[in-house]
Every structure is written in C-alpha cells, then in structure tokens.
Amino acid sequence: MNKGSNLKVVLVYPEYPDTFWSFKHAIKFISKKATYPPLGLLTVAAMLPKNWEKKLVDMNVKKLKDKDLKGADLVFISAMAIQKASAKEVISKCKKMGIKIVAGGPLFTAGYEEFENVDYFVLNEAEITLPLFLEDLRNGCAKHIYTSHKFPNIEKTPIPLWGLINMRKYVSMNIQYSRGCPFNCDFCDITNLFGRGVRTKSKGQILAELESLYSFGWRGGVFFVDDNFIGNKIKLKQEILPAIIQWMAARKYPFSFSTEASVNLSDDEELMQLMTQAGFDSVFLGIETPNEESLAECNKFQNKNRDLVACVKKIQKLGLQVTGGFIVGFDSDPSSIFEKQIEFIQKSGIITAMVGLLNAPRGTRLYQRLAKENRLLKEISGDNTDFSINFIPKMNYETLINGYKRIISGIYSPKPYFERVGRFLKEYKPLKKLHFHFGRLRFDFGYPGAFFKSIWFLGIKDEARVYYWKFFFWSLFKRPRLFPLAITYAIYGFHFRKVFKDYL
C-alpha cells in the first residue's frame, strides 16, 4: 500500500456473556447497554494514522452487522479470554467477507495459536508493536506476528478517541493510570502481561484525560482500570491525587472514581484520605482466602499475617466501599474453607463478593507448576464464576463443587444477602454525598425509573419480595441518607441471583 493511503478501518469489541461482572441484569434498571467502553481499542484508535477513517462497534452495545464491515480495509479486534467465543464469530464473519483482521489484547497475546484465520497479530503492548506493524503495512511488507518482551513508557500513550462511542450507552467511563503490579501471585497473569515494575502516566496526562471526558459531556463514574492503583504510593500521594483533588474542585466534582488495589491500602490512612478527597468511593481488593496456608501457597504474602476483616472495616470506615475477589480450590484449602469464606464475607460486609474456583491462566506460575504435575485439563473459560476449573484439584472434585455451591447460596440467597447489606449500612458513614451505583459502576441518583423498576421487579415479581420489602422499610426509616445506596444494593442482589439462578 502507498504511504499516504487513507484506509477504512473498523474496530470491533466482542460480546461478553452474562457473567458476575457484566451486571447485565442490573444495568437494565437504568436503560444502559454496557458497563464500560472498550478502553484498549479506543486507545489503539488514537494511535492509528489520523487520516484513516475509523469506526468502532462494541458488540455489547449493538450487534455487528455486515453493513458495519462493508468496505473496510482492516478490522481491528481486541478481547479477553471470556470473549473468546464471540471473537471467533467475528473472525469467521470477516474471513467470509474477505476483510483482513488485526488482532491484539490479552486473549490473543496469551494464545494466538488458536486463531488461524487472523491475518496480523499485534501482541503485547501496542505502544511498541503497533508502530512496527503500521510501518511495515505502509511499506507493503506486514508480517504475521508482532510481539515484544519490552515494557513501554506509557507517558506517551495518547488520550482515547472518545468520539467513536456513544457515552450514553454506558454506565461508567474508564481511564488507565498505571500498568504492572509489584506483587507476584502465582495464579495471576498481570505480571506476565505487564511486569512487576509499576509504570505510570504523568500528572499532566491524567488531568488531560479527565478533561477530555469532561469536554465530551461525561458526568458520573470513572473506573481506573489499573490492576493495582497503589503500586506507586509515593507518586500518588505527592503528585497524582493532589492534582485530581484540585481539578475536581475546579470542575465542581463531575466524577466519582473507583479502582482496584491490594489490601495493604489499609496500612496507609493518608493515602485513603487523599483518595476519598479526590472522589474515590469504591475499591476492589483481591482478598482470595482467609486460610493462611492457601495464601502462602499462592504467594499472596501481602495478605498474610493480617486480620483481613479488620483491614476491610478500616477501609470502609474511611469512606471507601470494598468489593472483593475470593477463591476456593487451592491445594491447601481444608474442608472447612467453604464455611470460613461465608463467615468472612458476611462479617466483613463486602456486598459485591466475587467467589470463584481457582483456575490457571496460561503463562502464570500456577499454570507452569500444574503442567509439570500433569494436572492441567484445558484452557480457562475466563469466567470466574461459571463453576469450571481447568485442572485436577487436590480436594475431591465433587466436594469442591458442592462446597462452592454452598458458598454461593450462603452469600447470595436473599436472607444472608440482605442481612449482609444491612450490616454494612449500619456501619457505613460516607464522607461525601452518595452516588447511585452498582459495584464498581457509578450513577447519580437521577434515575427515578430504576427506583420504580425495583419496586416492580423486586417488590412484586421477585420471589425474594418479602426480604425486599422488609429491607426497603428498614433502610427508609433507619438509614434514610443511605436509602439510594440500599436500593442499589437490592438491585445488585437481583443481578447476582439471576447469574447464579441454577445454583441457588
């Protein structure tokens, strides 16, 4: 192709199945189509030549039709493991239409060999591999695979092309501040993908990205997608958070923030106070297990020798709601682990508690160990809560599955679920005006339709309506300030029961 060619490209984000984190049953209450936009593809779009004609199709918002692809020179596709089935359908459709495919992102970086119909693989981090591909494409000598073991400086990463999406279709926007994690849990593929060195964007970049979202008219939730937002505490405390605090005040607090962090956040009150001042009101923690031997087994040393319930309570006390990830299926798990997990979750007041069976993603230390022990069975599904496990566990399989079902029933059946929410609301004292939200999702309480839908679907049609009404009036009279949050959590419970309906 000629150097000045003006190509027409379509960027496609495959569909997510109905899962714990999809919140599909919840976002219907506020008439949204998807939780977050495809940040990776929007960033890649900003790295493509400015003269190219670009279109983005998020299949979680609309179906991909032949007319969307008609006349396209290239289709760019990015996906995670859970989107594999949809990704394969997209690739097949493009192949039939004779359109060349460029694939990247975690799904393809971990196992590109499975996708023989892809023309070009641009793997690992696009800041390094995408320019090489584009240069070869201009010169007519593009290769099949572009990969790199280097980790780029992300201070040159451009602002995502927000103009390619309809923001009104989404619950929350997203932003990335850092890549990499200082910890090395053996079941996690983050360090394999992004390394243990924490690379961060500059203060100017973060403010520019927030300003970009603001200028496009966004008001509401913004999720920092970092796998560990507090990987570099010093820079956060000295530069980033003070700058966000100032920017938010100047813009009259248009956003509320959420992110992911490690449990050692609880050790730093100054950091937590700065986060809440900046507008953070929710954080996801990888707690995994209350069993010390299992924490040691998976190299989760940052969680060992702690009163984890006390850590969660401390974070909540300082104004941050905690969502949590939990795992069962470790070799060191005792038969009592299922009851211990239920007890921990109920006592901690973690409403959004994602409990999954242990799985071994390709490239992790766990995967390598299980391969040596001839215990691997298949690749992961990417869905943490679909009752699948990709290796032979030490615990009897039936015991493990039945125990896992007991956990799901013990935390998401109506009675224990509403009890947990009530316990949390009794103790929670937010520092600022609340926003109506779902887990890591954010809304202003400007959705009266959601309130009335909750009365219809939860208070009249749902089998759990007795618990709903008891909780409804308790929160209305005993915690009126938190009533919007209470209704939100009631809607949460509806979603979780739908996801796990076959097991409750």
Neighbouring CB atoms inside 10 A of 360's CB total: 24
Give backbone dihedrals phi and psi of 443, rounded to 5 degrees, phi first: -145, 145
Which sequence spans correspond to the domains of the chain?
Answer: 8-146, 171-427
Cβ neighbours of residue 82 closer than 8 Å, sequence gap 6 or more: 16, 17, 19, 381, 382, 383
**Are the C-beta atoms of 133 and 120 separated by less than 8 Å?**
yes
Whole-structure pTM over 0.75, yes or no?
A: yes
Query: Tens of pLDDT along 136-174?
Result: 999 999 999 999 999 999 999 999 999 999 999 999 999
Write the class of the CATH domain 171-427: alpha beta
> In this structure, which amino acid lies at residue 444?
D
**Are the C-beta atoms of 185 and 300 separated by less than 8 Å?**
yes
Weakest-pLDDT range from 134-143, 279-288, 372-381, 433-442: 433-442
Looking at 3.30.420.310, 3.40.50.2300, 3.40.50.300, 3.40.50.280, the CATH number of the domain 8-146 comes to 3.40.50.280
Query: Tens of pLDDT along 312-360?
Result: 999 999 999 999 999 999 999 999 999 999 999 999 999 999 999 999 9
Weakest-pLDDT range from 213-217, 229-233, 375-379, 426-430: 426-430
Residue in 401, 103, 436, 111 with CA at minimum distance from that of residue 282: 436
Give the per-residue pLDDT at 413.
96
- Angle, alpha carbons 199-264-429 (nearest 5°): 115
